[in-house]
Amino acid sequence: MANDTTPDKIRSIAKHLRSLSDDDLNLYIEDAKAELDEEKIPDKYRERLQRYLAAHLASLNVRRVASQKVDGMSQTFSNSDRTSVESMGLDSTPYGQEFARLMKKYTSRSSLKLTVF
């Protein structure tokens, strides 16, 4: 059985998640693991898929600075609550996009069927 991913591995690919605690990231890891446990994926790819799916799920709830203005001290944050069709699901983060690419490569399927609440 393959090892599960870790909070440190998630932070290494998603620097904006450094502010989340290990407990928070472990919750996303558990969610990713539960999704992948239902799939027939070779063990050697499982950790990598967990890492990208967990980073995607965690990124949906973290506000990131989209632009800054130094002189006026202004910041604009990207909004993860976008509702356009183009930004829904796995396409809404680079981690979700990479997860979908890997799923297609490793399983001949384009993605999991995830329900977002």
DSSP 45-96: HHHHHHHHHHHHHHHTT--EEEEEETTTTEEEEE-TT--SGGGSGGGGSHHH
Query: Measuring CA to CA, which residue among 104, 97, 7 is closest to residue 58?
Result: 7
> How far apart are alpha carbons 97 and 80 in whole angstroms?
15
> How far apart are alpha carbons 65 and 54 in whole angstroms?
20
Q: Which pLDDT score, from 0 to 100, does residue 116 have?
A: 60
Over residues 19-77, the pLDDT tens digits come to 999 999 999 999 999 999 988 899 999 999 999 999 999 999 875 555 556 666 665 54
